[in-house]
Amino acid sequence: MKRTGLVFDDRYLLHDTGPDHPETSERLKVIFAGIEAAGLLPKLVLIPGRRVEEKWIRTVHAEGHIRRFEEACACGYAEYGHPDNRMCGESFDTALLAVGGVLQATQMVMEGKLDNAFCAVRPPGHHAEPNRAMGFCYFNNIAIAARYLQMQWGIARVGIVDFDVHHGNGTQAIFDGDPTVFYYSIHEHPTFAYPGTGREFERGSALGIGYTLNTPMLPGQGDQDYQEALERDLVPAFDVFKPEVILVSAGFDAHADDDMSYMNVSTEGFSWIMRLLMELADKYAKGRIISILEGGYCLQRLPELIVNHLKILLQAPDNH
Amino acid sequence: MFIEKSMTRSVISVGPDAGLLEARELMNRHRIHQLPVVDRDNTLIGIVTDRDLLRAMPSGLLTEAEAQREPERLAQLTIGDIMSRNVITVSPMHTLEDALLLMERTPVGAFPVVDQQGKLIGIISVRDLMRAFINVLGIHEPGTLLCILAEDKLGTMKRIVDAISEERIAFGSVLVARHWEEGKRAVFPYLLSSNVAHVKRKLEKLGFQLLNPMDWYLDRLPKKD
């Protein structure tokens, strides 16, 4: 069995997005209750949130963005930059705690205290661009973790896999010209889904050409299509890139029961994806994989999805 | 909507006395496929395309004797000899719709823009029209596209727009596909938001049918018996 960390903190519930908003604290409540009910808690190393030092936020985000977000929060505004990005007085601090939790888990994996980790954090991050919040995301958790791996641990090749049903425009933009971070995303085709980026021809720029890879999926596609696409696109790309650490933008909104998309991935389909990522991590990254919660809004399905996700992290399939 | 606002002003042109190689070099360097030909007063007198040039410079199909004479023959040819003199032009006060419809019925990829005196002042290409269309679609901004099947009657659009606006969601664009089923229109609102699940439920409650994306078309024609 692997030593798996779980970043979780009651303070992640404090980011309040108000009524009629899918990115609610209920998501984490049902996730935690599900983990507890499945009896997984004793098997996991619990990692509380930690306020991140702002220098790490600045490795990805403009100072102006950080200050505007902080001010909007302090002034009691109900949204930051766009009506999608609702917030409350606690949102800025919660976002700092989310990044801090992710970096703490990453540090523990790099120190060898953990094999891998799942970060059940809010708010999510993959839409956040260097200078703006977008799509419920304020700070790009996964991008900051990648920079941390490079700067603190000298990791030369970070592989990011984003299976949230929406394209991670923020993460892609941050590493667009960077050949040291490979960004792979599989998502609903941008003509039919937010935010409208992540087309096949987006392959990175300048030195980063070839280090961004997008697989848009057609509405209605499901497990079989995802498996074929990942084996066709992701596996050969990572066979060449050989990531030293794998970071996962784990969004569960491609689930058939999630009304954020038209995709038809089943609960078992998500397990298959995660087992594939574990295999890739074992093959290239010494098993080092840090998974970070992005979307996933079906409150009925989230508990089983996350429990399965954690079970797979805890017990890597034996392929040797 | 006037051509003047969307055309390329710094148009590359050539004189009728220019050689073929010179013209080919110019087109390669600027990556263009049409080269308007002007006289000394900048009056448009013709146009050459990259295809005209290729046709005037046959290379692979020559006998050895012909191939030996080829450089000499090419050196004597000028753009004036091979250009088309019947140029389809537009005026700066024509509209983008004019250019779109004209392009649909002619096999031409770009129209020189000339003023009332016939002087060349710009060129408008398929590419310029595409840029305008992308802008109209609003797809450079993040958002979510819906497709609503709606009755073709007065007030339907208002109900759709009201239902969405009440949720404080901004529009990037609204396309309406006119040719659909009898009495129906397909309405495509592009919403500048990721939070659209509740507005979709609301539209369905109001009696609108949201179409499955795999059934979306922009040009579905009415069925003919």
pLDDT digits (tens, 9 = 90+) for A116-147: 999 999 999 999 999 999 999 999 999 999 99
> Higher confidence at residue B136 or residue A224?
A224
What's the average model confidence in pLDDT over A291-307? 98
Least confident of A83-92, A277-286, B125-134, B197-206: B125-134
* Assigned domain for A256 exists: yes
Q: Chain B contact for A169, CB < 8 A?
A: yes
Q: What percent of chain A has pLDDT over 90?
A: 98
pLDDT at A319 > cutoff 80: no
pLDDT at A37 > cutoff 80: yes
Mutate to test the interface with A, among B171, B195, B215, B218 (most CBs of A within 10 A): B195
A196 vs B197: CB contact, 8 Å cut-off? no
* Assigned domain for A293 exists: yes
Question: pLDDT tens digits, chain B, 225 residues: what are they?
Answer: 899 999 999 999 999 999 998 999 999 999 999 999 999 999 999 999 999 998 887 766 677 777 787 778 888 899 999 999 999 999 999 999 899 989 888 888 899 999 999 999 999 999 899 998 888 888 899 999 999 998 888 999 999 999 999 999 999 999 988 766 778 888 999 999 999 999 999 999 999 999 988 887 776 555 554
CA distance B179 to chain A (A): 21
Q: Chain A contact for B144, CB < 8 A?
A: yes
CA distance B171 to chain A (A): 13
pLDDT band at A320 (very low <50, low <70, confident <90, very high): very low
What mean pLDDT is reported for chain A?
96
Q: How many domains does chain A have?
A: 1
Active site residue A127: yes
* Assigned domain for A319 exists: no
Q: Which domain holds residue A40?
A: 4-314
* Assigned domain for A194 exists: yes
pLDDT at A317 > cutoff 50: no
What is the value of pTM for the model shown?
A: 0.89
What's the average model confidence in pLDDT over A197-205? 96
The three-state DSSP-derived secondary structure of chain B is CEHHHHCECCCCCECCCCEHHHHHHHHHHHCCCEEEEECCCCEEEEEEEHHHHHHHCCCCCCCHHHHHHHHHHHHHCEHHHHCECCCCCECCCCEHHHHHHHHHHCCCCEEEEECCCCEEEEEEEHHHHHHHHHHHHCCCCCCEECCEEEECCCCHHHHHHHHHHCCCCCEEEEEEECCCCCCEEEEEEEECCCCCHHHHHHHHHCCCEECCHHHCCCCCCCCCC
* Assigned domain for A310 exists: yes
pLDDT band at A316 (very low <50, low <70, confident <90, very high): very low
* Assigned domain for A249 exists: yes
pLDDT digits (tens, 9 = 90+) for A27-36: 999 999 999 9
What's the average model confidence in pLDDT over A194-198? 96
pLDDT at A318: 43
Picking from B141, B144, B195, the nearest residue to A193 by CB comes out as B144
Q: Chain B contact for A136, CB < 8 A?
A: yes
CATH for A92: 3.40.800.20
* Assigned domain for A320 exists: no
pLDDT digits (tens, 9 = 90+) for A153-166: 999 999 999 999 99
